[in-house]
Amino acid sequence: MVRLGVNIDHVATLRQARGEPYPSVVDAAYTCLDHGADQITIHLREDRRHIQDTDVEAVHLVTKKFGKPLNLEIGVAPEIVDIAMATRPDWICVVPENREEKTTEGGLDLLNPKTFEKVKAACEKLKANDEQLKISLFVEANEEVLRKCAEINCDAVEIHTGDYARAHLNGEDIASYIEQYERSKSLCAELGLGHHAGHGLTGQSVKELVEKNLFVEYNIGNWIICQSVFDGLSKVVENLKEELQSK
């Protein structure tokens, strides 16, 4: 069964834009889970541009109520790792962060020895704190990088699909991306890693990936929140989940 993770960061982006208490990320998490989402994803950035510290535990309480996972995206800054350890979510997805970026620009550069050691140390610390915790690493569909992931105590990778999603949106040829993901799926199976996808995906671009059975989990956020302006959050999540199940 393909899993749908809904990233609700941009509900918080709207809230932070005016400094009001609405829209509520708690209500967003509840609505998504009540209409078919398999997990909630939030990213506690070091710059706190959307999700705030208090949101993490509040959203976690909602996921616990539904018996569904909270997937907490974090960088490896010590302060953020400490918050993750205190929260004890079901999943942590380790991502790169650059304060100047509009959104995450690519996967972790695990071929850089310094980055590799930082990520490895953070994962070891997180796992030591909670033996039940599962960790994914946000990376490119690159063989060398995936083999480095296997040297870290992680359970899955989340493949950065931003370039694919952009090419799909622009009507460009996506064959090379599909081939990349087929290879990364095969390698992850060999390495014993879950094969997840996320970043930039829309209701249209995700269909191509689901039809080819390339990933077991899709984390989608910005498109869902944007489409909700026209159709409502509950309907967008419900329709997307039905679409994923029908493939």
Instruction: Give the 3-state secondary structure of residue 246.
Output: helix
Q: For the chain, where are the alpha helices, taking DSSP H only?
A: 9-18, 25-34, 53-66, 78-87, 113-129, 143-149, 162-169, 175-191, 205-211, 222-231, 233-246
**Integer Cα distance of 68 and 59 in angstroms:** 11
- Given 10, 35, 60, 199, the catalytic residue: 199
Give residue-wise pLDDT tens across range 155-177: 999 999 999 999 999 999 999 99
Rounded to the nearest integer, the mean pLDDT of the chain is 95
The catalytically annotated residue of 43, 50, 60, 168 is: 43
CA–chain centroid gap for 77, Å, is 18
> CATH code for 3-239?
3.20.20.70
Least-confidence region, from 12-16, 106-110, 216-220:
106-110
Read off the pLDDT of each residue in 90-96 and give the average, rounded to a whole number: 97
Amino acid identity of residue 134, one-letter, is: K
Q: What residues does 43 pair with on adjacent strands?
A: 73
Examine the pLDDT at 239 and tell me if it is beyond 80.
yes
- Domain ranges in the chain? 3-239
Report whether pLDDT(102) > 80: no
Residues 6 or more apart from 69 whose CB is under 8 A from it?
38, 39, 40, 63, 89, 90, 91
Examine the pLDDT at 105 and tell me if it is beyond 70. Answer: no
What span, in angstroms and rounded, lies between the C-alpha atoms of 183 and 75? Answer: 27
Considering the candidates 50, 73, 168, 238, report the single residue annotated as catalytic: 73
Instruction: Report the distance separating Cα 131 and Cα 29, nearest Å.
Output: 26
Average pLDDT of span 101-106: 62
Q: Can 199 be counted among the known catalytic residues?
A: yes
- 43 annotated active-site: yes
Contact call for residues 116 and 110 (beta carbons, < 8 A): yes
Q: What are phi and psi of 160, to 5 degrees?
A: -70, 115
Retrieve residue 109's tokens: 């550069």
Residue type, 52: Q
**What whole-number percentage of the chain has pLDDT above 90?**
94
Confidence category of residue 224, pLDDT binned at 50, 70, 90: very high
10 is catalytic: no
Residues 73-98, mean pLDDT to the nearest whole number: 95
Answer yes or no: is pLDDT of 195 > 70: yes
User: Which distant-in-sequence residues (6+ apart) come within 8 Å of 112 by Cβ?
Assistant: none
pLDDT in tens, 55-84: 999 999 999 999 999 999 999 999 999 999
Whether residue 1 is predicted with pLDDT greater than 90 in this model: the reply is no
Q: Do 218 and 198 contact (CB within 8 A), yes or no?
A: yes
Average of per-residue pLDDT across 10-32: 97
